[in-house]
Amino acid sequence: MKPDCLILRFGEMMLKGKNRKKFEHSVMIQIRMVFSSFPDVRYIPEFGRVYVVLGDTDYVLAAKALERVFGLASWSPAYHADMELAAIQRAALGIMEALPKRPATFKVTARRVNKQFPHDSQEINHLVGGYVLQAMPGLQVDVRSPEVELRVEIREDRVLLYCDVIEGIGGFPSGTSGKALLMLSGGIDSPVAGWMAMRKGLTLEAIHFHSYPYTSERAKEKVISLAHQLAGYTDVLKLHLVSFTDVQTSIHQAYKDDLLVTLIRRAMYRIAERIAEREGLGALVTGESLGQVASQTLPSLHAIGQVVSLPLLQPLMMMDKQEIIGVAEKIGTFPISILPYEDCCSLFLPPSPSTNPNLRLVEKLEESMEFLQALIDKAVLETETIEIVHGQLKQESIAHLF
């Protein structure tokens, strides 16, 4: 017995008052996007929810597609029945008999919107529950804590029955919170930070720094694969690829001691902000987690963050590594992130990077690097951009980037 309908419920957007319609419109665009390969589906919107009639669409594939819809609080696989008691009773029994494991207890919860239906909610509970009890010996009713709650909704023009309420990924619909630039490395953290930013309604572009030939072509391919995975949640993601070799090697030639990481990160932030402002993006998103490495202590975060004026959004700041890995596994970036191709952040590391950088000393060192501003300007100017569409790469070839 396969569901012929999905009931999708919206989440936090319902708190948005006069902006609710705008948010619902955005989430509908996303729902239509993830179901675009299913031509048979039909949409019936109602206040706070939408019914997706599946037609000949494969339920399993449709359910999988919902994992890419931000703003979805929960959803239920549901079954239609004719607008008459006998049909509802037969459908209820079919659902109960088709459960993977036969429950010991259940209850029926009816909701009658169509007041023309001849039985009220309490009567439906008794009439449907009694029918199921009679056909399934040993099954008992538990109104307080049933193993299965069979819900019956008598709508104006349809009857729906369902048991499961499955949690959606929540958040806000894509693009309802503005635009930001994700600093995307090849590691585990930054893709998760990007996903969490998108979940809160941000439209993201991404920036990646490479230091070819010190970093390999495969390291860059790995980042492009991560961008593809993230694009699966918004359909399109623009990726800016910065050749960082001259900036990084020049700083390293001028200074090799414990503040090197701080100097490198400040240069990256400066370039990222320039790209963000050029593209009209309102914030930088990074994957820092407090205390995880030397550049993510409180003094280091302060010294590095001083160079930009755009808001810095750091969704992972208070998360443990295992929590971050859990999200990475859930969104499908973890198997890509652990591929053994290191990015430029791991190059030229001093034996003991400072965890408490002196900001005045850092600024003094930068003042002595007369080459720095020109190299940052050059890196911004020569940044290459590719547009990644879920499932394909719009640009004919990326070979010239390597």
**Annotated binding residue 183:** yes
Total residue count of the chain as it appears in this document: 402
List CB contacts of 180: < 8 A, sequence separation 6 or more.
Answer: 197, 202, 203, 204, 205, 276, 281, 282, 283, 284, 285, 313
**Annotated binding residue 296:** yes
CB 42 within 8 A of CB 100: no
Q: Which secondary structure element, helix H or strand E, spans residue 236, and what is its range? A: strand 236-243
What angle (nearest 5°) sits at the alpha carbon of residue 274, between those of residues 273 and 275? 90
* Token pair listed for 374: 């020109």
| CA–centroid distance for 269 within its chain | 24
* Token pair listed for 166: 């499955």
| CA–centroid distance for 314 within its chain | 15
**Annotated binding residue 209:** yes
Interstrand relation of 384-389 and 203-210 (parallel, antiparallel or unpaired): unpaired
- Closest listed residue to residue 151, CA positions, set 212, 94, 198, 109: 109
C-beta neighbour count of 203 within 10 angstroms: 18
**Annotated binding residue 208:** yes
C-beta neighbour count of 354 within 10 angstroms: 21
**Annotated binding residue 265:** yes
Residues of the binding site for ATP: 183-184, 208-209, 265, 287, 296
Residues of the binding site: 183-184, 208-209, 265, 287, 296
